[in-house]
Amino acid sequence: MQMQVSPLAQKLAQQLSMIYQEVKLNESVDELATSLITLMHIDANALPPEPFCNHWTEEDVVLITYGDSIIEDNCPPLQSLHCFLDESIGSSINSVHILPFFPYSSDDGFSVIDYSSVNESLGSWQDIKAISEQWHLMSDLVINHCSSRSAWFDNFIKGEGQGSDYFYTASPEDDLSAVVRPRTSPLLREVETGKGTQFVWCTFSEDQVDFDFRNPEVLKSFVSIIRQYLDAGVKIFRFDAIAFLWKTIGTSCINLPQTHEVVRLLRTLIEHARNDAVIITETNIPNTQNLTYFGNANEAHAIYNFSLPPLLLNTLITGNCLYLKRWLMSMPPAQDGTTYFNFIASHDGIGLRPAEGLLSDEEIQILTTTVQDFGGKISWRTSDNGQQKPYEMNISLYDALQGTISGPDQWNFERFMCAHAIMLALEGIPGIYIHSMLGTQNDYQKLENTHHNRSINRHRWQVDALEKALTDESMHHAKVLSSMKNLLDIRIKQSAFHPNATQFTLHLGLQLFGFWRQSLDRKQRIFCISNVTDQPQLLPLSELNLIITESWYELITDSEITELTQELTLLPYQSVWISNKGHNG
């Protein structure tokens, strides 16, 4: 009698057939599907989650942090972070993205030596699980590459053992002219191995060696890793550098169909293991390419809104929202089951590839010059035609917003809060870098020590120094933290700020940037409007067509609007959230 194959196994086999259609396998796709189900410890007959289900609400806000962003003597950094979350953040944020917390050799964690261990200098799996019990935990799956100091790569050099066939190799004679990558370092690294001289593929650096997913054993290893992370309490997976996963000589080696299919396959496995788990793809690429990672609501649950940081920064330093407004009008609403992940600062720089086609070369030049004038650095990449082009701007967000194209001014704090008032109100889930919560400025000492541009925005706070900064009224840090928490506490109570609530762009000229949100049940409406200039601007309420039979409130100041025909004067960089429901939504 023929054994009946489960729908899950059938689906996985179909996906595997798509991935490996040009690869000769040592086992059938049916056998491989069964192996993946076993490695994931899931019931082959388990039912998938409801399609187009939103695993998020307006209460979801993610804090982005390194495990050692806050340190103190004689205490594991993960425990110091936990105390900070308890004592200083509280209920304002319900999710935490701890950047790679594994043993690593370079790139501040993104060159992983051992995926199964917690870096001893940070703490333990117990510390990770303790955080996951209070907050939704987001973790990186550094899936494109690993450290050249890993046991896997050691075995590659030996030519035997697990990992000996895990890495992608090519020949210097291959035509690699079409390859797209974000670095200027050599793509191929010459290595002497037990099998002779080989040239390993290094998309990012010679210490970060790319995997060869043509070998299904690599896929199996990562499925086991995912299972371990789920068991440790991870709910949200950030697929790091996923766009570069699959390589085919003679192509661009970015966004290939097999890469998209791998995302779909891993989603199938993850959502059968935990039906409220979320996958976010990290694809720092032009906007139109980035959108493809939604698939048909069957790939990433969320995609990083990479175009937002450079466009919003451009808006606030020029006092003109033309490009930000154009982009927002062009963005398709995320269908149910998907959403955007909004951020304006992170451990990386402010990427410029996502601004390509949205900002002109002249606008990008003005932007990079201004950032350099404010103490920032520019990282470069090699374009298709061999030209050096700016890849990202490295600067703390607080310092990036210290002035305009005319230079520094007195509106640093107001401009910084305006940026967050805009970001927090947009369609999607907001992610806030810990250094934005604290108003951290450029770390020139760390930059000097590491000689890596990204270090400028990866400060480590000593607990004593942080406590002093948060109690010294002459410093801005306490004011930033208090104001950010106030905005968050308002946001998470508004149903119109659900990540999938309706959004329309308002037409209020180029000095006022505005959009309208409406809750899924259509009961709450919020007009989100910001003055993006250093001069007062008039907002005629009559242009908003507020329904006169309803009461209207300005949520940020918690005040009622009694006259719907009046003109509001918005001070430089002031934001208003005008709602038909009061402060508590």
CB 346 within 8 A of CB 433: yes
Dig out the tokens for 337 from the structure. Answer: 């089951």
Q: How far apart are the first and last CA of the chain?
A: 61
Question: What is the spatial distance between Cα 12 and Cα 433, in angstroms, rounded to a whole number?
Answer: 36
Contacts of 206 (CB under 8 A, 6+ apart): 148, 185, 186, 189
Q: Is the dihedral of CA 562, 565, 567, 570 positive or negative?
A: positive
Q: State whether the Cα torsion 355-361-364-368 is positive or negative.
A: positive
**Beta carbons of 531 and 572 less than 8 angstroms apart:** yes
Q: How far apart are CA 414 and CA 419, in angstroms?
A: 9
The answer to whether 120 and 182 are in contact (CB under 8 A) is no
Sign of the alpha-carbon dihedral angle for 320, 323, 329, 333: negative
Tell which residue, 580, 429, 560, 563, has the closest CA to residue 518.
580
Look up 207 and say whether it is catalytic: no
| From 240, 348, 399, 534, active-site residue | 240
CB 393 within 8 A of CB 378: yes
Is residue 29 within 8 A of residue 20, CB to CB? The reply is yes
- Dist. CA 295–CA 292, nearest whole Å: 6
Q: State the catalytic residues.
A: 240
